[in-house]
Structure 1
Amino acid sequence: MSKLQNPPEEVRPSTRMSGVGRVLVTVYGVLALAATGRSFVQIVSKFDEAPLAYALSALAAVVYIVATIALVRPGVVWYRVAWATIVFEFMGVIVVGALSVMMPDLFPHDTVWSGFGRGYLYIPLVLPVLGMWWLATHRPAAPGSSSARPAAGPAGEGAA
């Protein structure tokens, strides 16, 4: 077989970037931009009013940026980074969401994850669940393997 018929993993397109995966990445990208813009404005203009809330919004922005990049990039390492960031995001939404409801004095101003993401139409709560499902069904190829394991799709998807 020639190298063109069986390109190395870093050259092959990621099977995570097809169909629903593209929508997922797009939503992560939009959320990354929204969280980055919001946290920047909050930190620059009124950080002293709610430093914990605004620092958490900035952390959420970084997590969304890294998750977006990791979902787009092929390979086992980026797959693991995607899992780590999405699980971290989910735990952040659950912990900050619960604390913001049970102890509202901790969060005098909302974060991206306050109230389980209510300020963002609960997308921060639903998105990591969809992301974890997508990652679980679109694993990268094992090192030395010639193809990624496809989930559902047209016959031969992901085959070399």
Structure 2
Amino acid sequence: MTSKSSTTTAGVGRVLIAVYAVMALAATARSLFQIATKFDDAPIAYLLSAAAGVVYIVATVALIRSGQRWYRVAVIAIVFELVGVLTVGTLSLVDAVLFPADTVWSAFGAGYLFVPLALPILGLVWLYRVRISQESR
């Protein structure tokens, strides 16, 4: 049996989950509003924001749930998130024409105080620490 201190929902994990939940709500609400009101202005940007919202939802749920399968889902979602923020962040700075409107991940999440850049890094570090803690038992 795993002790409470080695689960993803203990300690710092609670804060991480809370931040993921806030980002899920913010990204999803923003993208749904943009898709509903001005989709024709920047469809790719708004769909990317919706995708980010879905990734944040999946990561939040996966971090809350226990078990090896949910651990893997969390890792996959967070790695996808990191690749997304690095790719979209770079492209939005190199060629601004690609994104006529900001996405959650534009400029590495500058519109969200760079939380989208820091969050997957912190998430992967946390998951690694949880894994090491569980393996040492």
In which range does the TM-score fall when normalised by the shorter chain? Answer: over 0.9
CA shift, 1:54, in A, is 0.3
Percent of residue pairs identical: 58
Q: Is 1:48 aligned to 2:40, yes or no? A: yes
Partner of 2:134: 149
Distance 2:63 2:23 in 1: 14
1:15 and 1:150 in contact (8 A); partners too: no
Q: Is 1:138 aligned to 2:130, yes or no? A: yes
Partner of 2:25: 33
Q: 1:64 aligns with which of 52, 56, 67?
A: 56
Q: 1:115 aligns with which of 107, 111, 121?
A: 107
Partner of 1:156: none
Larger helix fraction of residues: 2
Distance 2:96 2:41 in 1: 14
CA shift, 1:36, in A, is 0.6
**Cα deviation code 1:96-142 (max 9, x no counterpart):** 000000000010000000000000000000000000000001029xx
Partner of 1:79: 71
Larger radius of gyration: 1
**Cα deviation code 1:44-88 (max 9, x no counterpart):** 000000000000000000000000000000000000000000000
Partner amino acid, structure 1, of 2:130? H
Stretches of structure 1 that go unaligned for 5 or more consecutive residues are 1-5, 141-147, 152-158
RMSD: 1.9
Distance 1:73 1:109 in 2: 35
**Cα deviation code 1:19-62 (max 9, x no counterpart):** 10000000000000000100000000000000000000000000
Distance 1:82 1:124 in 2: 16
CA shift, 1:150, in A, is 7.4
Would you say how many aligned residue pairs link Structure 1 and Structure 2? 136
Q: For residue 139 of structure 1, give the secondary structure of its aligned residue in structure 2.
A: helix
Stretches of structure 2 that go unaligned for 5 or more consecutive residues are none
Runs of 4+ aligned residues of structure 1 deviating over 6 Å after TM superposition are: none
Distance 2:21 2:131 in 1: 21
